[in-house]
Structure 1
């Protein structure tokens, strides 16, 4: 079954707008609300913790926290603490981070793929309660074990876009997060690469593929949604890459993305969306229509 969520974007929403948005999403019945840790706007784990404390049912996705910014043990401690306090409601995600931003803080990795290959397995092992020793190029752990691991380690998502990163994410992550701006045919090719990496690693566990999809509701919805899509992205088609119309229209059109192999469709409001509460009511209705 396809899951539907929404995004609280830090463009242009400031942190002080977050609580009202979170409470509106919970009230509207939105299953998942995803946040971004874009430099230098808002943190991932502080906002996720606050959102979970303010709500009872809403799941919070982190899409994503940049790996270069944090030692993997610190990331594991953050996730484990949140998971133990709010079991089953955190969807943690990590990624390369925007490389110029990473360079600004002196954290840019010379080989982001090597960092991911070392970091994500170590993170998942720590969250599984294992003792981990790694002597890698970027990740170095000497018999590290969390004192308070999660009772059940959450699925760790990796953001991925290029073919090499897509395949590697399929090899090492529990879930893969794809960016907005891609029509279903392009997403299907990305999903195939992810699945090939997963199978090639000899894995048989469940892998969740999530994707951001720009969606708009109300008057001129299609034009407003398409205006938010970067039509220079490879394989993108501004109209084919968005969802628009009434909640019934969006719920019916989601099948295009589900057929492409997307398990979790996370709706991204147009940047000029001024009424997040109304937007989340529409997303909640889409979720209800999909059952």
Structure 2
């Protein structure tokens, strides 16, 4: 595989110790570093640190929210990262979720399609160095001009789940960022993107629970499923993918407040669809299925059972996936 991404920062690894860890990551064949934003580190700081210590990595955000940062701040942060980096920079923009935007940031999660469209359009114009006067459905900005224009323009990608946003990604950006889907789901999702951009970069975050203790893997994965797939945007995504019957018992238990029953109701088969687990060779085979289905940049996100240490798995999995 030509590309393999890793989600940073890793749980349990302080940012001050990231540089030492990245030596092993580079040696194991990972080519990209990608971040996100929830309640841990912001999306840009770990990438700036990596750009300074390990300039060979391609760097991407997956994602920054179109709500929790202003359009101008996204443009400034993207430009600063591109100025520090000597490798390619990709800025993924998306809605995040209603839970994060409304409950955790106290903002209104309103008209997500329009917000992502308008923010992405603004950021692309701003990064070019032009003076931006923009009146859109989401905001009005007058006279913004980026004072430090990067010599190397970042690529812009849109995070998408359902058809409207997927088509938007193909129409206005350099690619799409996907999440929480199986290799078979790619055949449902990709045509909407590729119709607008046949050369779109297809980034997919893939959840990896390394190890061959099947019970520990399933317990860890099922807890993550209940944490995410009860969020309305992800629940609707999986209804659209055709998993309503499969997930309805979990949704019902969650709505009753019975968290233990919700975890128990997650089917084993769903874990096998949405998570990569087992030996490094098993993970490699799983990643290959995504690549065969159209993913151009698989990005691994390690999800660890309690008591396990992610750093002992990184090199073996990376070498297994990237070795021809």
Rounded Cα–Cα distance in structure 2 between residues aligned with 1:21 and 1:60: 16
CA distance in 1: counterparts of 2:124 and 2:49, whole angstroms = 24
2-structure distance, mates of 1:268, 1:118 = 29
Corresponding residue for residue 280 of structure 2: 247
Distance 1:88 1:211 in 2: 20
- Give the TM-score, by structure 1 length: 0.84
Q: 1:214 to 1:248 in 2, by over 3 A?
A: same
For the 8 Å contact 2:276–2:283, the answer to whether it is kept is yes
Question: 3-state SS of the aligned residue for 1:69?
Answer: coil
- What SS does the corresponding residue of 1:176 show, helix, strand or coil? strand
Q: For residues 74-85 of structure 1, what are the structure 2 equivalents within 5 Å?
A: 74-85=73-84
Gaps of 5+ in 2: 230-234, 244-269
TM-score (ref. length: structure 2): 0.76
Maintained 8 Å contact 1:34/1:61: yes
> Which of 70-79 and 88-97 deviates more?
88-97
Any idea what SS the aligned residue of 2:272 has? coil
Among residues 296, 303, 311, which one is paired with 1:277 in the alignment?
A: 311
Higher helix content, 1 or 2: 2
Partner of 1:68: 67
Instruction: Work out whether residues 220 and 305 of structure 2, in 8 Å CA contact, stay in contact via their aligned partners in 1.
Output: no
Asked if the contact 1:33/1:60 (under 8 Å) is kept, the reply is yes
Q: 2:249 corresponds to which residue?
A: none
Contact between 2:210 and 2:304, CA under 8 Å: does it hold in 1? no
> Residue in 1 aligned with 2:117?
117
Structure 1 stretch displaced more, 4-13 or 134-143: 4-13
1:136–1:41: structure 2 CA closer, same or farther, 3 Å change rule? same
User: Would you say how many aligned residue pairs link Structure 1 and Structure 2?
Assistant: 282
Correspondence list, 1:208-227, <5 A? 208-220=201-213, 224=217, 227=220
Match of 2:246 in 1: none
**Structure 1 residues without counterparts, runs of 5 or longer:** none
**Equivalent residue for 1:268?**
301
In structure 2, the CA distance between the partners of 1:28 and 1:10, relative to structure 1 (3 Å rule), is closer
The change in CA–CA distance for 1:225 and 1:190 in structure 2 (over 3 A counts) is farther
Which deviations, in whole Å up to 9, do the C-alpha atoms of 1:72-97 show, x marking residues without a partner?
12211111111112132433212112
Question: 1:128–1:265: structure 2 CA closer, same or farther, 3 Å change rule?
Answer: same
Q: Which runs of 4 or more aligned residues in structure 1 lie more than 4 Å from their structure 2 counterparts after TM superposition?
A: 9-21
Relative to 1, partners in 2 of residues 1:279 and 1:157: Cα closer, same or farther, differing over 3 Å? farther
Q: CA RMSD in A?
A: 2.8
Matches within 5 A, 1:87-98: 87-98=86-97
SS at match of 1:146: coil
